[in-house]
Structure 1
Amino acid sequence: MAVEHRADGTTRAIDRAFVPEAPVALEFNGLSYAVMMATPADLTDFALGFALTEGLAGDPRDVTDLAVAEVPAGWIVRAQLAGLGIAQLTDRVRARVAESSCGLCGIENLEAVARPLPPVAAHNAIPPTAIFAALAALRDHQPLTRATGAAHAAALCEADGTIIAVREDVGRHNALDKLVGALAATGQSAASGFVLSTARCSYEIVEKAVRAGATTLVTISLPTSLAEARARAAGLTLWSLARPDSVLEVVKGSARAG
């Protein structure tokens, strides 16, 4: 039970729900790759999406035997990784000493930031009306946000704004990874519509969207300078400052011929 203090000097007791947050260890081929602070839900989607957006897997079929276990200290998600990502996994585990969930550590990561992203496929423009429609419908797909007011969401929307899938998490990157994993598990493509993220538009959000095959990304805040540059270089269409009555077209990506 929490106590709300008001400006007029009165108080009241209120019962508030808190967004779940716990350490989640991601293990591939028996190697501990990362420990993320995340909401312990949709964890197989999380691990699959993380492997794809981190470049550990080039295809969902490269990630198998996903299993989730709750342990006293948190959660562990284990998976088997095949394909070209095995060498990268081994190298990164060996090199990774201390890296924050949204920061950079060491020369390896500085070089990785400058590595070109795969080019985004040519795509049709998304009309602003579709973005407004998705924004208006999004809250109905956010049970965790409605309960706590403290979760991020990532959604895949059709070209007319119809919401296809949504994942929520305490972490903005995690929500997008969960969405990517959910789409990969069902064979859905992120290319024809657009990805809507309630997150701050950092460069990682742009890179994860591109690696997931998205062609258009919509965020509720402005991108950082690096996020804008990475979107422009890859040909990703980027809309930001998405509000019920306005949205800013930041980068016009690769237009489909004809």
Structure 2
Amino acid sequence: MDRPAAPAGAVATRPVVRDGAETVDAVAVEEPLEIRVDGDRIATTMRTPGSDHDLALGFLLAEGIIAGAEDVGSMFHCGRPGEEGYGNVLDVTSAGGHRIDPERILDSRRFLPVSSACGVCGREAIDRLLARVPAVASDARADRALVVRAMDALRRSQPVFERTGGLHAAVLVGAGGEVLAAAEDVGRHNAVDKVVGALLRQGVLGARATASGRPVVLAVSGRAGFEIVQKAAVAGVPVVASVSAPSSLAVDLAVRAGVALLGFVRGERMNVYAHAWRVDATASCPR
């Protein structure tokens, strides 16, 4: 896999003093993206510009607002190129003969900013999310060699991080180790939305998916929190692997949703916090 180039608009420069001398440093771009559905504001997230359409698709799927890309008629940035702030508002319109229902999103989350670190707050909101996250029906497994390939692909898919040290990444890998989608963002959950949205757009994921080659492993940089597992489960991805630690809620949700949750992945060494049968041939599948 060739190393991708950093997308336009993802890197900026700012002055810095280093070792007593003034110079410039490359920093990751962070800007707001307001997501609207048929003109109604749904959420605002702080993100790295690029793949905004995929980000919106992945977000709307995770929130249960759409079942797939076929529910969407068009997506466009509001305003005109060259205007201040252009590109930071994305309007999603319903497909003909179908109305996207934004009321399906949790009341406690509508119209509230979503930070680049976490989008869920409040015990009641978490309990309601837990109740509607579907269990992954697939019996797919990923041996340790596939997990290692996924983490290697993750490391090779971070051109902006290599320049700035300031982004997270997510990669979706198929059963043969092929990279199906890769993305970077200032937010871990945004990166996951981008890769899920890319496969929705390609017809690989969604209620009426037509393309073959469904993802088996979601590899992520940084901590594996609740929302990472939630987004994987909604997308039907059976294995989540992280270079870092999971949270307690992430483990609880993974157990409930049938997702194998792997943390501290270092080569073939890893902690398996949920559903070890998906990655370990000696572990039995729960019935």
- Give the TM-score of the pair, scaled to structure 2: 0.77
**Residue 19 (str. 1) matches residue 28 (str. 2):** yes
Q: Would you say how many aligned residue pairs link Structure 1 and Structure 2?
A: 251
Secondary structure (helix, strand or coil) at the match of 2:131 reads coil
2:181 is the counterpart of 1:165: yes
Which amino acid is 1:203 matched to? F
Alignment pair present for 1:49 and 2:58: yes
Q: Is the 8 A contact 2:167 2:186 kept in 1?
A: yes
Residues 30 and 97 (structure 1), Cα distance of their counterparts in 2 relative to 1, 3 Å cut: closer
Match of 2:170 in 1: 154
SS at 2:191's partner residue?
Answer: helix
Percent of aligned pairs sharing the same letter: 31
Q: Which runs of 5+ in 2 are unaligned?
A: 1-14, 206-212, 279-284
Moved more, 206-215 or 139-148: 139-148
Letter aligned with residue 84 of structure 2 = P
Q: 1:86 is matched with which residue?
A: 101
Tell me the equivalent position of 1:199: 222
Partner of 2:204: 188
Aligned match for 1:3, one of 17, 32, 38: 17
Distance 1:245 1:14, change over 3 A: farther
Letter in 1 for 2:25: R
**Which residue number in structure 1 is paired with residue 90 of structure 2?**
77
| TM-aligned CA distance change 1:107 to 1:159, over 3 Å | closer
The aligned amino acid for 1:33 is I
Residues 239, 261 of structure 2: 8 Å contact kept: yes
Question: TM-score normalised to the size of structure 1?
Answer: 0.85
SS in structure 1 at match of 2:255: helix
2:159 is matched with 143
1:123 and 1:254 in contact (8 A); partners too: no
Question: CA–CA distance in 2 between the matches of 1:91 and 1:204?
Answer: 14
Q: CA deviation at 1:253?
A: 6.3
Q: Match of 1:218, SS?
A: strand
Change (3 A) 1:195 1:105: closer
CA distance in 1, matches of 2:131, 2:202: 29
CA distance in 1, matches of 2:198, 2:144: 26
How well do the aligned residues superpose, as a CA RMSD in angstroms? 2.8
Structure 1 segments unaligned to the other structure (5+ residues): 6-10
